[in-house]
């Protein structure tokens, strides 16, 4: 299920689906709210109970972490989980009062319980700017953004363009405050930052009463699972099991010291070593995944080249993962602990601990505790897979999930732990996916043979798979650069230099020989405002856009608030967006998603070739037939085959001027709502319409209104 006009679900259907958000099975107690972040190249949904389990939003195996979000079916997420565990815990009497050696509350990967485990308290979406109003030929709500978000507040001083504020109580007395930050500007729109504060409040349910005010929690762990998949478009092309991540390859960095090296697995040092100046040590503590080989396919599926539609385009070029930016050393020491997360493991996504999770099942929680406290699993997943097939490892039916755990912590009443991480996706851009994929497919299909291919390092190969895979694997470095940008953003206190805001109004109107674009001047009050750029796509909105106009500093045009696109072809659909540009040499732009139209503009009827062709329809206008004339527009009278530029004056039979219309859009028709210049609906009678062109030519038509 999707919800945008340019993706497989219309906005109308999306709104209906949102109203009946979830179909629940055991453990899914109440329908919970979903919020979405849709302002950047990476887009996703978030769930009120505090994490994003499988099918908690849409009844689809893959949904969320869409990159590049301009295109359809780019989801990289199958399921997530957040478990919070502690030891030697006695439930409050309202939950049974039993003591557990290992106590775990869950949200995901498949089950959540908002009555007895993770209890939502607050879930709000705030924006630095409201979404602009975007209209196409008078239609409003024609951006995906305005169809998918309702802000709870606007604050120009927010540190991000969008912020989700999420508060969740748990039945062990830990209250989680989760803030999710998203930015729309290029260079920072391919990651989200997640800021968590876990506090021992003693509040175990939804009311404000503190039920367990004096309880100290021991051996507290915060454990995350990420079931990543290749982009849905590419997995659909490949093989069904790829859709649940059976052939994902997983990797961690930053957890092993050189002394952990064993056999063929040599490690340069962990993140702590890097901070201490050890040359070559891992500079990040991160976990990520990409689409690997699959034993069930007769071709090399890395990157998922499109053989279904015979284009070769790479459908899963993305690398997806998360990086730890901060984890408290303890409740009393708020400095970052470079040895956290203390657990970095990879676990089978369909193993028992992923199913039927219950905070009252001793054996289940014992198994979960083994995952939570496993430490750093060696060898890493990608090392274990080697040149083999990920889907063959351990006989897995569902692939593996990246898992990380922070702990153990002791939380006395009032104590808290602060953890910050970023999640991102990146890889080859769409043009590279088309170019690389086509070259690969030309040889795969037999169109060419013995070709020589250029590799990223400047060398060449005659092996089409080596060529394709080398380029796909450059996405790993692209993702690490995304992580680096997220870390710089966090380390700077979120002091990004942001582009000007978008115009708060963007209108597109179809004419007879051109399409008219106009936008408000609201962005021009920004101190770093430099101008505007207009982009256009042809035939569909999820494709490549071309800049067709720019104005302002460094351009040939002064700042204006309108543009006439005179190049459209009749019967072709056109989509647009306008961005504000700053005055820096980098020319930072506001996000395209603020104003991107998802309804088409098309040229209207051509202007009439002769004044003799002008018609008034209907004539006569008969009120009792209004539903047959223009359904939904009961008072509409149309003037057809008129000149592209003319003045239309409407008189009563005795010569009183009642309406003046300036027709300037270049089209051959103009609609009139039967209202006079004073807002009165015309009565029965004979009326005279006079059409006058700028050069003085005139035509006169009589028409009859019968009320």
CATH code for position 688: 2.60.40.1930
Chosen domain end from 569, 594, 619: 594
Strand 615-617, strand 637-640: pairing: antiparallel
What is d(CA 133, CA 142) in angstroms, rounded to the nearest whole number? 9
In a domain, 553, yes or no: yes
CB 632 within 8 A of CB 667: no
Note whether 262 and 322 are same-domain residues.
yes
Our measurement of the distance from residue 679's CA atom to the centroid of its chain's CA atoms, rounded to an integer in Å, reads 44
In a domain, 63, yes or no: yes
How confident is the model at residue 182, as a pLDDT? 98
Q: What is the pLDDT of residues 271-297, one digit of tens each?
A: 999 999 999 999 999 999 999 999 999
Average pLDDT, the chain: 93
Q: What is the pLDDT of residues 618-654, one digit of tens each?
A: 999 998 886 667 766 788 899 999 999 999 999 999 9
Tell me whether residue 570 is exposed, middle or buried, using C-beta atoms within 10 angstroms of its C-beta: 0 to 12, 13 to 18, 19 or more. Answer: exposed
Note whether 331 and 207 are same-domain residues.
yes
Mean pLDDT on 184-211: 97
Residue by residue, what is the 3-state secondary structure of 469-522? HHHHCHHHHHHHHHHHHHHHHHHCCCCCCCCCCCCCEEEEEECCCCEEEEECCH
Note whether 422 and 442 are same-domain residues.
no
- Nearest by Cα to 240 from 315, 296, 156, 162: 296
Note whether 436 and 423 are same-domain residues.
no
- Nearest by Cα to 68 from 293, 300, 234, 308: 234
Q: What is the pLDDT of residues 591-609, one digit of tens each?
A: 999 999 999 998 888 889 8
Report in angstroms the alpha-carbon separations of 137 from 214, 400, 566, 657: 63, 49, 17, 28
Q: Give the confidence band of 31 by pLDDT, cuts at 50, 70, 90.
A: low
What does pTM read for this prediction? 0.87
Note whether 351 and 276 are same-domain residues.
yes
Q: Which residues pair with 416 in a beta bridge?
A: 199
Retrieve residue 459's tokens: 């060398």
In a domain, 599, yes or no: no
CB 251 within 8 A of CB 267: no
In a domain, 691, yes or no: yes
What is d(CA 191, CA 323) in angstroms, rounded to the nearest whole number? 10
How many alpha carbons fall within 13 Å on the CB side of residue 425?
26
Note whether 588 and 663 are same-domain residues.
no
Note whether 377 and 438 are same-domain residues.
no
CA-based Rg of the chain, rounded to a whole angstrom?
Answer: 30
Chosen domain end from 427, 452, 469: 427
User: Which CATH number does the domain housing residue 590 bear?
Assistant: 2.60.40.10
Parent domain of 462: 430-481
In a domain, 537, yes or no: yes
Number of domains in the chain: 4
Chosen domain end from 427, 442, 472: 427
Note whether 554 and 579 are same-domain residues.
yes
φ, ψ at 355 (rounded to 5°):
-125, 145
Note whether 248 and 373 are same-domain residues.
yes
Q: What is the pLDDT of residues 574-590, one digit of tens each?
A: 999 999 999 999 999 99
Which residue has better confidence, 106 or 141?
106
φ, ψ at 31 (rounded to 5°):
-65, 130
In a domain, 605, yes or no: no
Note whether 137 and 234 are same-domain residues.
yes
Tokens 């800049």 belong to residue: 547
CB 444 within 8 A of CB 464: yes
DSSP code, position 200: E
Note whether 413 and 289 are same-domain residues.
yes
Tokens 């329809």 belong to residue: 617
In a domain, 515, yes or no: yes
Note whether 311 and 440 are same-domain residues.
no
How many alpha carbons fall within 13 Å on the CB side of residue 39?
31
What is d(CA 549, CA 536) in angstroms, rounded to the nearest whole number? 9
In a domain, 669, yes or no: yes
């Amino acid at each position: 299920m999707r919800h945008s006009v340019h993706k497989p679900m219309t906005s109308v259907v999306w709104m209906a689906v949102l109203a009946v958000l979830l179909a629940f099975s055991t453990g899914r107690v109440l329908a919970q709210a979903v919020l979405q972040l849709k302002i950047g190249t990476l887009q996703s949904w978030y769930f009120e109970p505090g994490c994003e389990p499988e099918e908690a939003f849409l009844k689809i195996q893959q949904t969320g972490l869409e990159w590049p979000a301009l295109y359809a079916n780019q989801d990289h997420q199958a399921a997530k989980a957040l478990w919070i565990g502690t030891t030697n815990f006695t439930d409050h009497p309202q939950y049974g009062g039993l003591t557990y050696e290992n106590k775990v509350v869950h949200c995901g990967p498949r089950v959540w319980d908002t009555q007895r485990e993770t209890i939502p308290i607050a879930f709000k979406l705030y924006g630095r700017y409201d979404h602009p109003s975007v209209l196409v030929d008078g239609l409003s709500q024609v951006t995906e953004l305005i169809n998918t978000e309702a802000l709870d507040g606007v604050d120009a001083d927010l540190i991000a363009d969008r912020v989700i504020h999420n508060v969740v109580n748990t039945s062990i007395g830990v209250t989680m405050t989760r803030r999710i930050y998203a930015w729309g500007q290029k260079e920072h729109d391919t990651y989200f930052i997640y800021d968590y504060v876990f506090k021992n409040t003693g509040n175990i349910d939804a009311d404000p009463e503190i039920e367990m005010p004096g309880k100290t929690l021991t051996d507290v762990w915060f454990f995350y699972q990420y079931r990543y998949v290749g982009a849905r478009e590419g997995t659909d092309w490949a093989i069904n099991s790829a859709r649940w991540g059976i052939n994902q390859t997983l990797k961690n960095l930053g957890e092993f010291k050189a002394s952990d090296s064993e056999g063929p697995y040599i490690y340069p040092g962990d993140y702590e070593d890097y901070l201490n100046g050890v040359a070559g040590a891992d500079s990040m503590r991160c976990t990520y995944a990409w689409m690997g080989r699959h034993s069930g396919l007769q071709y090399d599926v890395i990157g998922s080249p499109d053989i279904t539609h015979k284009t070769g385009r790479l459908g899963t070029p993305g690398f997806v993962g998360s990086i730890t930016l901060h984890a408290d050393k303890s409740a009393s020491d708020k400095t970052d602990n470079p040895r956290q997360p203390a657990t970095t493991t990879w676990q089978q996504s369909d193993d028992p601990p992923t199913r039927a999770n219950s905070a009252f099942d001793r054996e289940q929680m014992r198994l979960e505790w083994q995952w939570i406290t496993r430490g750093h699993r060696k060898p890493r997943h990608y090392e274990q897979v080697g040149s083999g097939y990920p889907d063959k490892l351990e006989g897995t039916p569902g692939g593996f999930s990246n898992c990380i755990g922070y702990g153990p912590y002791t939380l006395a009443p009032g104590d808290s732990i602060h953890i910050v991480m970023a999640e991102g996706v990146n890889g080859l851009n769409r043009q590279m996916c088309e170019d690389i994929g086509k070259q690969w497919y030309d040889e795969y299909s037999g169109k060419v043979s013995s070709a020589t291919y250029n590799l990223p390092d400047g060398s060449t190969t005659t092996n089409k798979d080596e060529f394709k895979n080398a380029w796909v694997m450059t996405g790993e470095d692209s993702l690490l650069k995304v992580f680096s940008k997220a870390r710089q953003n966090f380390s700077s206190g979120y002091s990004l230099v942001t582009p000007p805001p978008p115009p708060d109004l963007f209108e597109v109107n179809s004419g007879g020989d051109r399409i008219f674009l106009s936008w408000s001047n609201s962005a021009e009050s920004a101190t770093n405002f430099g101008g505007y750029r207009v982009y256009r796509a042809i035939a569909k909105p999820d494709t490549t856009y071309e800049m067709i106009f720019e104005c302002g500093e460094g351009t040939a045009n002064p700042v204006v608030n309108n543009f006439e696109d005179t190049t459209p072809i009749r019967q072709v659909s056109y989509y647009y967006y306008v961005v504000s540009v700053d005055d820096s040499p980098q020319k930072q732009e506001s996000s395209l998603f603020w104003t991107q139209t998802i309804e088409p503009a098309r040229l209207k009827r051509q202007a009439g070739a002769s004044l003799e062709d002008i018609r008034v329809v209907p004539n006569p206008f008969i009120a009792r037939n209004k539903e047959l004339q223009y359904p939904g527009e009961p008072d509409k009278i149309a003037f057809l085959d008129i000149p592209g530029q003319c003045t239309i004056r409407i008189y009563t039979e005795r010569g009183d001027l009642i309406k003046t219309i300036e027709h300037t859009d270049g089209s051959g028709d103009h609609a009139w709502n039967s209202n006079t210049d004073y807002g009165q609906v015309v009565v029965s009678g004979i009326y005279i319409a006079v059409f006058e062109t700028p050069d003085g030519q005139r035509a006169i038509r009589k028409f009859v209104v019968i009320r």
